[in-house]
Amino acid sequence: MNKVELKTSWLDFLSSQDFSHAITFKPNDANFTKSVAALHRLFVKAHMLIQRRLIGRGFNLTQNRARQTPALGIVEGSLLTGHIHGAFKVAPEDWAKFEGLFAEEKRRGPDRNIWRTLVASGTCVVEPIYGAKGWHSYTLKDVWQTDDTDRVVMLPLSA
Query: CA-to-CA distance for 107 and 103, rounded, in angstroms?
Result: 8
Percentage of the chain lying above the pLDDT 70 cut: 87
Contact 154/72 with Cβ under 8 angstroms?
yes
If 0-12 CB within 10 Å is exposed, 13-18 middle and 19+ buried, where does residue 59 land? buried
pTM across the whole model = 0.86
Distance CA 156, CA 146 (A): 26
| Degrees, nearest 5: CA angle 121-92-47 | 35
CB atoms near residue 45 (< 10 Å)? 14
pLDDT under 50: residue ranges of the chain: none
pLDDT in tens, 80-105: 778 899 999 999 999 999 999 988 76
Q: Is the peptide bond before 92 cis (omega within 30 degrees of 0)?
A: no
Whether 72 contacts 86, CB under 8 Å: yes
pLDDT for the residue numbered 82: 84
d(CA 123, CA 25): 6
What ranges in the chain are assigned the alpha helix state H? 3-15, 36-55, 95-100, 114-118, 132-139, 141-146
Q: Which of 30, 49, 22, 21 is nearest to 120 (CA)?
A: 30
pLDDT score of 146: 53
pLDDT at site 96? 92
CATH class of 3-155: alpha beta
Are 118 and 48 a contacting pair, CB within 8 Å? Answer: no
Apex 88 CA angle, 86 and 92, nearest 5: 150
